[in-house]
Amino acid sequence: MCGIVAYVGSSDRTKSVLCESLGRLEYRGYDSSGICFVENGRSRVIRSEGKLENLFTKLKDCEVTSSLGIAHTRWATHGDPSERNAHPQVSGPISVVHNGIVENYPELKKELIAAGYEFRSDTDTEVISHLIRDFTEKGNSLLESTRKTFEKIEGSYAVAVMSDKEPGKIIATRRFSPLIIARSGSECFLASDIPAILPYTREFIFLEDNDFVVLDENGVSITDAAGGDVRRDPTVVDWDPSVTEKSGYRHYMLKEIFEQPSAIFDTLRGKFTADMRKVVFEDLDPSLLRNTQRIIIAACGTSYHASLIGKYMIEEVAGVNTQVELASEFRHRNPVVGPDTLFIAVSQSGETADTSEALLKAKELGMNSIGITNVVLSKISRESDCVIATKAGPEIGVASTKSFTTQVMAFYLLSVYLAISRKAVDSKRARQLIADAISVSKLQQEALGLDEHLRELSRDFYGYRNFIYLGRGINYPVALEGALKLKEVSYIHAEGYAAGEMKHGPIALIDRNMPVVFIAPEEDVYYKKLLGNFQEVKARGGRIIFITSDRELRLPDERDRKIVIPKSSYLVSPMVSVIPVQFMAYHVANILGTDVDQPRNLAKVVTVE
């Protein structure tokens, strides 16, 4: 949540680099924004409430001669989204942009008020600017003052700091919030995330907790909390910069739905032996899995739904007892685990606070861990014993789409890997399972042809205020995901249920005004039962959208709609059946005119509890 960027380089690029980078970070938060340059030895801070375009309008005619600057896009935690709560937060000569939360800010604020500081915002961040100023006024350098300040701060942070008194430099540090730096020629960049600065370089240094960085015309230097020199090697990231562009699509969400076949293809690349008999995980230590008798998976949101599918896959294919936990619950309870329990943390961003805390809890409990993440060197990938990387590429739309299907594919591969290594399947079955994985890209490509059909269907359904999504077995989590997608981007109330649960309560909701979306591929082992659930809904006057691969099925009521998806094998079917529900959420939202890529109140990366 919140995105920060900083730049040191050439004065004729400062404004454009900061604005463009901020634009590529807007998915992290978008309720207010701000920027700071140093002009003639004085800070110039410009802030704006609302979307970035409001800031850009203010900056339009503003000539910038500064060769460095910091900028911020905000997702409010403390204080409403307003100009005075936007960052940079300023105290005298000090300007600070911050991503994270200062947990002990009430105590610090009290101390600072007693010392005579006046607070002009409701943010927790303002204590950081006052503290740094306080230390500089006591004769410390900006770097030293920043160090001393963060000795007092509890919580999570990635910050960049500028001062009128040391106008040629930017100081940055982090703890529990991501921060990367990069150099290209005589330019230095700093950002919360890779996509922000991807057009300028492919080599990034991922900062560690308590690294303190100075960016100035000499380049970048890193020291630790005690002032000792730190060396961090750059990592080369092979993302193509065009992946951060909309490439002709109206929204990132639509572009990312369409990118799923290639994301799956990339996730599969290099994952099989040449004879196509085995799954290969180069980074996975086989000893980690050898003694595993039980698996606990923790994740949030869409990643949680992918994990629920993972449970079906692992139990069905490899026969290993698996349980899935909401990371926000797992981190606060006392689970019973044994030495043979493996923990899997699943997160697109690799930075979600609840999931990374759940991982830390698992480690405290002595569990071995695997991280399934989409971002190299993210917190979860660094803290897990082994990593399975999904290769979705940057996902900019706040609503996850391609990260869901690549996570499901990662679980599929893991279940086949486990099954083969435990001899739970014979070689014929193993080859079939691998062939089914390879078939997914093509099947998805076919399902993408449903775009126009779903656009037209959405025109018929966008007026309803409630929806129910139903599925069974491996497609039950797809029902949950379909409901989440619709809620997130269209603000329509939707609930996903296991179809068998209907009769235990939710069926009371069914009437003419409650459309029910069935996720019912014919290959689903519960298909006949789903047809029974269909009749139950019909008997109560419900209107149905039936997503199925059963071409022959006739729906007698013309108010109902059938969406035909390509037939696949049961275990890979969620990677295909989810495409229509993604399209439907997208098109309904578009008709309703919501902000599809940046829905209200949400942020792409949730780094707060």
By beta-carbon proximity to ligand AGP, the closer residue of 484 and 499 is 484
H helices within 138-249, ranges in order?
142-152, 194-197
Measured in whole angstroms, how far is the alpha carbon of residue 377 from the centre of its chain? 14
Active-site position among 2, 19, 36, 300: 2
By beta-carbon proximity to ligand AGP, the closer residue of 198 and 605 is 605
Positions that interact with ligand AGP (CB under 6 A): 300-303, 347-349, 352, 355, 398-400, 488, 605-606
Residues in the chain: 609
604 classed as catalytic: yes
Q: What are phi and psi of 38, to 5 degrees?
A: -110, 120
**Residue 360 Cβ vs ligand AGP, minimum distance, rounded to whole Å:** 15
Which residue shows structure tokens 């949101």? 301
By beta-carbon proximity to ligand AGP, the closer residue of 33 and 349 is 349
DSSP characters for 531-555? HHHHHHHHTTT-EEEEEES-TT---
Nearest to 291 by CA among 426, 427, 422: 422
The b/e string for 126-141 (b: 16+ C-beta within 10 A; e otherwise) is: bbbbbbbbbbbeeebb
**Residue 511 Cβ vs ligand AGP, minimum distance, rounded to whole Å:** 29
Residue type at 151 in one-letter notation: E
Extract the tokens encoding 442. Answer: 């093509």
Question: Count of alpha carbons within 13 Å of 461, Cβ hemisphere only?
Answer: 32
By beta-carbon proximity to ligand AGP, the closer residue of 163 and 349 is 349
By beta-carbon proximity to ligand AGP, the closer residue of 454 and 606 is 606
**Residue 480 Cβ vs ligand AGP, minimum distance, rounded to whole Å:** 11
**Residue 436 Cβ vs ligand AGP, minimum distance, rounded to whole Å:** 25
Active-site position among 15, 255, 485, 604: 604
By beta-carbon proximity to ligand AGP, the closer residue of 147 and 402 is 402
Extract the tokens encoding 40. Answer: 């003639």
**Residue 487 Cβ vs ligand AGP, minimum distance, rounded to whole Å:** 9
* Burial class of residue 270, CB neighbours in 10 A (0-12, 13-18, 19+): exposed
**Residue 416 Cβ vs ligand AGP, minimum distance, rounded to whole Å:** 23
Comparing every residue's Cβ against ligand AGP, the nearest one is 301
300 classed as catalytic: no
Q: What is residue 158's three-state secondary structure?
A: strand
Instruction: Give the span between the Cα atoms of 235 and 443, in whole angstroms.
Output: 34
Phi-psi region of 595 (alpha: psi -120 to 50; beta: other; left: phi over 0): beta
Q: Point out the residues that are catalytic.
A: 2, 604
